[in-house]
């Protein structure tokens, strides 16, 4: 899937949550890290990405196989959203997964 609205996230899963309120979906968080040196000091910054899976076959796969700590590659599209709170508009972007691949070995 290569469109203008495409991201690829490679990192470790933080958590996996299954939701069922009308339509079953899976929410997962994936951590990506940036490491650099500042003089002699090694620094690291971790960014968490919240991803939602809606496709039924991928939801079934996620329920069975995705778990905290697994190293994955996620292909997703960006879905912008907005909401109003306290008379202030807020904006964000949801990541909607279209593919998830394992990059680590199957756990024992």
Here the tokens at position 18 are 């299954």
pLDDT at 28: 94
Tell me the C-alpha distance between 102 and 10, whole Å.
10
DSSP-derived secondary structure for 31-90: EEEEEEEETTEEEEEEEEEEEEE--HHHHHHHHHH--TT-EEEEEEEEEEEEEEETTEEE
Tell me: domain 7-102, CATH 2.40.50.140, correct? yes
pLDDT digits (tens, 9 = 90+) for 49-90: 999 999 999 999 999 999 999 999 999 999 988 999 999 999
Instruction: Report domain extents, the chain.
Output: 7-102
Here the tokens at position 35 are 């490491």
Tell me the C-alpha distance between 6 and 1, whole Å.
8
pLDDT at 58: 94
User: Is the pTM higher than 0.85?
Assistant: no
User: Which position has the higher pLDDT, 87 or 92?
Assistant: 87
């Amino acid at each position: 899937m290569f469109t203008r609205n495409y991201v690829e996230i490679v990192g470790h899963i933080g958590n996996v949550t299954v939701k069922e309120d009308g339509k079953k979906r899976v929410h997962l968080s994936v951590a990506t890290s940036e490491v650099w040196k500042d003089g002699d000091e090694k620094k690291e910054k971790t960014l968490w990405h919240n991803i939602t899976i809606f496709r039924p076959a991928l939801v079934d796969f996620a329920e069975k196989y995705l778990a905290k700590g697994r190293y994955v590659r996620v292909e997703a599209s960006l879905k912008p959203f907005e909401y109003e709170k306290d008379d202030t508009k807020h904006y964000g972007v949801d990541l909607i997964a279209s593919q998830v691949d394992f990059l680590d070995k199957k756990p024992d």
